Amino acid sequence: MYYAAPLNAANPNDMRVVIEARALALPTGGIRNYVRELVAALERSAQQDEFVTVGTDRKPGILLSYWLNGSLPKEISALKPDVVHFTKAAVPKHTSWPTVVTIYDVIPLLFPQSQKFGRAGYWHKALRHAASRSDHVITISEASKRDIIRHLQVDAGKVSVTPLAADSTRFKPQSEPAASPYILFVGTREPRKNISSLLRAFATIQDEVTHDLIIAGRVHSNPRDEQKLATDLGIADRVEWRTDVSDGELPSLYAQASLFVLPSIYEGWGFPAQEAMTSGTPVIVSDGGSLPEVVGDAGIVVKFSTADLTERMRDDLFERELGLQMVRVLSDEQLANDLRIKGLAQAASSSWDTVAAATKQIYNSVR
């Protein structure tokens, strides 16, 4: 349990906010980053408000329903909160406090094959319950807001967007070059990230570039499928699979890349693209979900030729254009430099202090 600034009970304008923060128990991931950075920014802006995190030692998946609907509400009630913020898109069946929930996206509904066995059904119910039971929904992109309104039948006035930020104290340009040039992908190795399309696109340009391809991220589904594809494409000796990248290694991995590529079928946000821009690395993304919002005009956006998310897993036109754009950036130093400059400016346009200020406004609106 974590406490920020103490509450001044004499001032009725002060708030005690309890933040469900079980994502902090995860080893990596975008939700963990969101909770960690939001709590830190709220602490910096606390003044006389009080922020208490609960569930930080909660192990993922172990008796989740009992904890969410039994012991957690008791723990929260004992703290006598003015507002409770649930940060992992799930809310207890019964609440007696003003409640805010962050729903990052509705990917489990749009692309259920991205979920492990049994989880798609869980999230189908959990997302709908969270949206209906909470007093306000926070989401992280306009794309996610549109999906929440459409698929969860939520009134638009109940949903607020707080675009996210990268940690500029961790991610920044570096002058030290890589030992050998490479193209970088960072993300969980799951079908939604569309790594297979990246491999096929890279295979079409392997004779035009000297760069290798680094795929960095923890494994979510069968890694042998992607590794076999790389072998079948004749690029196995040009692809490096990194599942062991530490938080300390990640900034250099971004900053020393010649190009960062995120070809996701769909994203609710896209921290890796933002972190790459903050590191001064040129970025290419797909138009999946929020990614055009994340990069603005500071990155190259390659559009899918179909709106069907399953068909995007084998979109020949997309893969051909992705390869062309990769060669274009890697062969044109002026273009690459322009993307670096624009990317740094785009990344600097957002901050966690801004996210925290917007989140506090939402807390005040529901208390």
Residue-range domains of the chain with CATH: 2-165+351-366 (3.40.50.2000), 182-348 (3.40.50.2000)
Helix axes 271-278, 333-348, angle to 10 degrees: 110
Q: Are 191 and 266 in contact (CB under 8 A)?
A: no
Residue that the structure tokens 């409770």 belong to: 84
The residues, ordered by sequence, that sit 6+ positions from 172 with a Cβ below 8 Å of its Cβ are: 251, 255, 278, 279, 280
C-alpha 313 chain-centroid distance: 20
pLDDT for 301 = 98
pLDDT for 118 = 62
How is residue 235 annotated by DSSP?
A: -
Q: Can you tell me the distance from the alpha carbon of 16 to that of 363, in angstroms, rounded to the nearest whole number?
A: 10
Q: Alpha carbon of 272 to those of 133, 264, 267: distances in Å?
A: 32, 11, 11
pLDDT in tens, the chain (367 residues): 444 444 444 455 689 999 999 999 888 788 999 999 999 999 998 888 999 999 988 766 667 888 899 999 999 999 999 999 999 999 999 999 999 999 999 998 988 876 666 666 778 889 999 999 999 999 999 999 999 999 999 999 999 999 999 999 999 999 888 999 999 999 989 889 999 999 999 999 999 999 999 999 988 767 678 999 999 999 999 999 999 899 899 999 999 999 999 999 999 999 999 999 999 999 999 999 999 999 999 999 999 999 999 999 999 999 999 999 999 999 999 999 999 999 999 999 999 999 999 999 999 999 9
Burial (Cβ within 10 Å: 0-12, 13-18, ≥19) of residue 224: exposed
Helix axes 223-232, 195-205, angle to 10 degrees: 20
Number of Cβ within 10 Å of residue 342's Cβ equals 18
The residues, ordered by sequence, that sit 6+ positions from 247 with a Cβ below 8 Å of its Cβ are: 28, 170
pLDDT for 9 = 45
Q: Are 53 and 19 in contact (CB under 8 A)?
A: yes
C-alpha 15 chain-centroid distance: 28
The residues, ordered by sequence, that sit 6+ positions from 250 with a Cβ below 8 Å of its Cβ are: 170, 186, 216, 275
In degrees and rounded to multiples of 5, residue 157 shows phi and psi of -70, -10
pLDDT for 122 = 76
How is residue 168 annotated by DSSP?
A: T
Q: Can you tell me the distance from the alpha carbon of 62 to that of 70, in angstroms, rounded to the nearest whole number?
A: 13
pLDDT for 7 = 45
Put residue 25 in one of left, alpha, beta given phi > 0 → left and psi -120 to 50 → alpha: alpha
DSSP for 78-103 reads HT--SEEEE-SS---S---S-EEEE-
